[in-house]
Amino acid sequence: MSYGQDTDEATRNARDSVFLHAMVSSNTASVQFRVRNISSSGLMAEGPLTFDQGDEVDVDLRNIGRIHGKVVWIDEGRFGMAFDRSIDPKQARKPVGGGRSSPSRY
């Protein structure tokens, strides 16, 4: 498997700032994190760290599902994850219910 590294400027600029909750799991732990930014190739999250750089992990993202990847950096309660496949990061920002429903009128 190859994991992308956000080294090119176009990729760095394509990150969306978000505030999402997601479960991140490895063979040894499953912990809820706050996703702070996301791109088609990875994310940055913060929370209680139980992972090491190089760990292979899965993240459950709403509207996308489970994505496998690798922890590529760790720093003061945050970590960066590179996905093993590209995603559409805008899908993770969409409301789960598909939109608002109109209130009933009597």
Counting the structural domains of the chain, the total is 1
pLDDT at 50: 81
Run of H or E residues at 92: helix 89-93
Looking at every residue in the chain, the average pLDDT score rounds to 82
**44 found inside a domain:** yes
Name the DSSP letter for residue 15: P
- Which has more confidence, 99 or 26? 26
pLDDT at 70: 97
**Does the structure show a pLDDT above 60 at 51?**
yes
**21 found inside a domain:** yes
CATH number at residue 85: 2.40.10.220
**16 found inside a domain:** yes
**98 found inside a domain:** no
**101 found inside a domain:** no
What is the share, in percent, of the chain residues with pLDDT greater than 90? Answer: 57
- Which has more confidence, 98 or 76? 76
> Dihedrals φ, ψ of 28, to 5°?
-110, -15
The parent domain of residue 65 ranges over: 9-89
